[in-house]
């Protein structure tokens, strides 16, 4: 099999996997139920937006992103494992696998660090712990 065919197959698989996950998050209600000043639609009945609504929006968005991060990280690590097994000791392929693994781990680290930094800022501003780990996963 050519390398182009393998890449295309993985792209199709990942696309279908992510598309299959999207219905799980359709009713996530990321935006809080509040109206902004001058909103002509008058579709929401929750009253004017407050600072608490910003925190709710943050919790919903971060919960959604973290719940998607975990399956993507698992797929990326599995892909790295498959690449490692198919490298068959070829030094150039192994170097490429190590670079990919390093990039994936840095991406996971950056995502979790962003959560920790923003969570700390909100904790200082609101004096409350923003707690939503795995709320949307299980």
> Does residue 88 have a pLDDT over 70?
yes
Q: Please, which pLDDT band fits residue 23 given cuts at 50, 70 and 90?
A: low
Chain-centroid distance of CA 104 in Å reads: 13
* Helices and strands: H and E segment counts in the chain: 3, 0
Q: Look up the pTM and report it.
A: 0.58
Determine phi and psi for 129, rounding to 5 degrees.
-80, 125
Neighbours of 36 (CB within 10 A): 9
pLDDT the model gives residue 95: 94
pLDDT the model gives residue 136: 39
Q: Please, which pLDDT band fits residue 42 given cuts at 50, 70 and 90?
A: low
- Residue in the block written with tokens 């996530």: 28
């Amino acid at each position: 099999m050519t390398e182009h065919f393998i890449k295309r197959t993985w792209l199709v698989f990942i696309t279908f996997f992510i598309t299959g996950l999207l219905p799980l998050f359709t009713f996530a209600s990321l935006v809080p139920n509040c109206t902004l000043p001058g909103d002509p639609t008058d579709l929401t009945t929750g009253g004017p937006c407050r600072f608490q609504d910003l925190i709710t929006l943050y919790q919903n968005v971060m919960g959604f992103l973290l719940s998607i991060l975990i399956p993507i990280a698992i797929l990326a690590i599995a892909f790295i494992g498959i690449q490692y097994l198919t490298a068959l000791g070829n030094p150039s392929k192994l170097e490429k696998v190590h670079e990919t693994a390093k990039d994936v781990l840095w991406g996971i680290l950056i995502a979790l660090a962003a959560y920790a930094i923003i969570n700390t800022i909100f904790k200082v501003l609101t004096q409350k712990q923003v707690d939503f780990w795995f709320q949307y996963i299980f």
